[in-house]
Amino acid sequence: MKTKSEVESIFKTFFQMMQTQFQVKIKIFRSDNGMEYFNKHLRKFFLENGIIHQSSCVDTPQQNGVAERKNRHLLEVARALLFQNKEPKYLWGEAILTRTYLINRMPSKILNFRTPLDFFTSVFPNNSLSCTLPLKIFGCTVFVHIHEPNQGKLEPRA
């Protein structure tokens, strides 16, 4: 998300994905008191879809404890990935995605030492969202080979 004004469209897309991919309805939406969550269009969408919007008290980041700690953890590891590999700042988004990929594949005590990905696929076995790409070292050199459309095909002779 580049700007906070994108919250509405991103939430609506997420809402559709939950219904289409997992046949799950969102019942409650919890947020902090960010003004991006309090606009007439999003409020109308919540009412039309029977979604209850709950927000935390003003100036109480303690109420967002788990989310705040997870965000801080993501940011710290992303910084470490960038600094360790001496990568430029414009790869910040890739560092966050790499860290999220790793978190979802590491065992968690809360999930009885199962990975979040294992838990997710056991609840939704027919999902098509999990990635099976092999893990690469962040910051390693890669080469992309682009196949020519007619490469390897014989041209018909006239």
Is 17 contained in some domain?
A: yes
pLDDT tens per residue, range 23-44:
889 998 888 777 778 888 899 9
Residue 50 reports pLDDT greater than 90: yes
Mean pLDDT score, 130-146: 71
Q: Are residues 7 and 47 in the same domain?
A: yes
Mean pLDDT score, 8-31: 89
Mean pLDDT score, 137-150: 73
Is 97 contained in some domain?
A: yes
Mean pLDDT score, 56-79: 77
Question: What residues does 52 pair with on adjacent strands?
Answer: 28
Q: How many domains does the chain have?
A: 2
Note down the domain range covering 110. 77-131
Name the amino acid, one letter, at 158: A
